Amino acid sequence: MNYLAHIRLAENTPESQLGNFLGDFVKGPLEDYQNCYSAEILKGIATHRQIDCFTDRHPLYLQSRRLLGDRYFRFSGIIIDIAYDHFLSKHWQLFAASQLDDFVNDFYDNLQANRSILPPKARAIAPKVVLENWLASYQTLAGVNRTLARISRRLKRANPLATASEELAEHYEALEAGFLQFFPEAIAYAEILQKSPFQQPSSESALELSINLQSLHRKK
């Protein structure tokens, strides 16, 4: 999952949304961060990790990855994450009560208000996220292409991300259909996580929220 999807899947509170955004920047046991963040932010980070596990194992997500050619397979997770943010933007009104621009701008205000507590890498990119309007840029394929090109430049090893938009265009309808099937399940799973009591992680818990991925399917 990429930034927009993670923030949408968070609880509708500034702290939960911030925590879900920070999941890509906070590494290691969450017990190490108990003095840095509130319990709600820590739960958001833990939720981000659980949603990533759910997504990475989900048959529909794996099917989307397999649609990409062999040249892109090694980087297909990155490509599909960005593509899913594009489809979420395109179909935002199916999955959210607010307007996309209002949602994004509220999060930017939240991010800037809490910049002092962000980890170094998140603090460094926060101004770019806002200034370049990253979260709204996924609405167009041109924005997707710019995002993939930016990631391509950041990676140390050679990669084909800068040309991946051509592959996305070729499989656009199939990828869109896969997303529209997948995202309601991601929302349902996130709601299970939100209703579960959060305890400060310990070494025994290994950062898990003790929720079996199969519980979602048993509820269907």
Rg, the chain, Cα only:
17
pLDDT recorded at residue 47 = 94
pLDDT recorded at residue 157 = 86
Phi and psi for 135 in degrees, rounded to 5?
-65, -30
Residue in 76, 51, 59, 46 with CA at minimum distance from that of residue 159: 76
pLDDT recorded at residue 209 = 42
pLDDT recorded at residue 196 = 81
Contact yes or no for 79/68 (Cβ under 8 A): yes
Which tokens go with 63?
Answer: 């099917």
3-state secondary structure at position 29: coil
Q: Distance of alpha carbon 40 from its chain centroid, rounded?
A: 18
State the CB neighbour count (10 A cutoff) for residue 27: 10
Residue in 177, 183, 219 with CA at minimum distance from that of residue 58: 183
pLDDT recorded at residue 197 = 72
pLDDT digits (tens, 9 = 90+) for 163-177: 998 899 999 999 999
List of the chain residues with pLDDT < 70: 198-220
